Amino acid sequence: MPDAFTFQAAVEGILDEAVLRRAAKHLGMELGDVYGQQGKQQLEASVNGYNNAANHWPWTVLVDLDKDHSCPAELRSEWLPEEARYMCLRVAVRQVESWVLADVDGIASLLGVKKSLVPSEPDSEDDAKRTLVELAEQSPRAKIRESLVPTPGSRRKVGQLYNATLSMFVADRWNPAEAAASSDSLARCLSALTLLRSRWQEDQQND
């Protein structure tokens, strides 16, 4: 795509990158280099550096709200009281899995479960990752259960192929438009990315 809008990003993990990359594609954008992927603590420690870089190039930092803050605004004000002109700090409420669950048709098809079992308001889920695993436990598909559900006695919260399976689903089948209709935090992310593109392109035209 000629003259495509490209931005850099930093995320918590593999699934976050997959979701952001698919969202960018949905908006007709390109996701360039992706940094982080070593958890939330490392992301917070590096966010000022990413913000400095965003004085010169479009950046997005995607982080889970989890239970660390009461709302996205609180997290954003604590992490980055002053965002650079081309910084887009976005918060998934309460986890990026909420955005995955928000595509009800898609996730029900992947897991082979009834759509009625998938939460209609995923942003309200206290632990969307756990919800997703519990849905996978009800799947009639052995491969899904083996991939997403931790083995009995394991200390893991998810199956060993959790990230790989969901990242593939997001890349190939997840529908951001459908998901945004059920997830306000995703809808706000898509709007913020669109605004970032407009700001960048306007500034480039005025240079």
Planar angle of CA 15, 109, 129, nearest 5 degrees: 35
The C-alpha atoms of residue 155 and residue 3 are separated, in whole angstroms, by 47
Q: Are residues 112 and 153 in the same domain?
A: yes
- Residues 76, 52 share a domain: yes
Whether residues 172 and 187 share a domain: the answer is no
Give a yes or no: residue 130 inside a domain: yes
1 domain-assigned: no
Q: 83 φ, ψ to 5°?
A: -80, 140
**Considering the entire predicted model, what is its pTM?**
0.96
| Same domain, yes or no: 81 and 110 | no
In a domain, 67, yes or no: yes
Query: Which among 29, 81, 96 is positioned nearest to 59, based on CA atoms?
Result: 29
- Residue numbers of the domain that contains 21: 6-97+182-206
How would you write the pLDDT of the chain (207 residues) with one tens digit per residue?
446 899 999 999 999 999 999 999 999 999 999 999 999 999 999 999 999 999 999 999 999 999 999 999 999 999 999 999 999 999 999 999 999 999 999 999 999 999 999 999 999 999 999 999 999 999 999 999 999 999 998 999 999 999 999 999 999 999 999 999 999 999 999 999 999 999 999 999 987
